[in-house]
Amino acid sequence: MTVFRETGWAKINLALHVRGRRADGYHDIETLFAFVDDGDVIEAEFADADSLTIAGEFAERLSAGGDNLVQQVLALLRARHGAGRVPPLAVTLTKRLPVAAGIGGGSADAAAMARLVRRHFLPELGDAALARLIGPLGADIAACVASATCLGVGVGAELSPVPELRLTETPVLLVNPRQPVATGPVFAAWDGIDRGPLFTGADLRAQLFAGRNDLQRPAMAQCPAIVDMLTELGALRPWLARMSGSGATCFALFDATAERDAAAANLAQSHPHWWQMTGALR
């Protein structure tokens, strides 16, 4: 039995500047995407008809129906390239990332499904072509296709590389209070103040220190535990700690793996109910 496998890498927003509201209800943003070397897992095998089974810690919060992005991606790629190229698949999604957590779980899973299909059935598709095809399903999906550090503007889907941000193998700790935070209400509660563009200086840390997450304040109003997580992470002396996306997940970047692991152990003892994931940036 042939089993195909792909990872939906966790996404973090190193910075997220909201620049304005758009007439279509979306927001113009500038964000620095980065990706962790761990996440959800998708496995697929040949079948007589498509199916989706969801397992893992956070499975119960997701629908396995046609509205699931994994199912939508599979249907979209088959509609574009034909059933002769994209066969029926029995898919299992192991949901290891919290839902509604600001780390792109649904988008990461959609992109992982697309990469799986591309790798085994549509190898002629490059990342850019794949992103153009499935990107309309969600603003973060285009960035999740390559799952590499990049700058996103517009609604976050207009991407460009940032070679000066050499972050590969940077130790990272993700923490979530196991409280979902809905993206729409957080964006709706943004105060409408444009606090300026991303700083793009030559110094990596200065660039990241000058960044911010403009959704952090409205997310805190919806989920006060974010304040506690950022306070606890800051006390563990990372070189950067910030909320990702629209929350509630927060991340911390460290200089050394041992520092990250010590911080993770400290939090596991003091806050055993918090979800956490350790890894390194891709």
Cβ–Cβ under 8 Å, residues 152 and 31: yes
> Is 24 labeled as catalytic in the residue annotation?
no
Q: Can 95 be counted among the known catalytic residues?
A: no
- List 11, 40, 109, 214, catalytic entry: 11
- Do the beta carbons of residue 69 and residue 137 sit within 8 Å? yes
d(CA 99, CA 86): 28
Residue 23, phi then psi, degrees to nearest 5: -65, -25
With residues binned 3-state (H G I as helix, E B as strand, rest as coil), the percentages for the chain, rounded to 5, are 35, 30, 40
Looking at residue 137, the DSSP 8-state letter turns out to be: G
DSSP string for residues in 76-115: HHHHHH-TTTS--EEEEEE--SPSSSSS-HHHHHHHHHHH
Which of the following is catalytic: 38, 40, 50, 140?
140
Phi, psi of 255 (to 5 degrees): -80, -25
**What's the one-letter identity of residue 47?**
A
Give me the half-sphere count of Cα atoms (radius 13 Å) on the Cβ side of residue 74. Answer: 24
**Measured torsion, CA atoms of residues 203, 208, 209, 210, in degrees rounded to the nearest 10:** 90
Q: In what order do the strands lie in the sheet with 275-280?
A: 240-243, 250-253, 171-176, 275-280
Active site residues: 11, 140
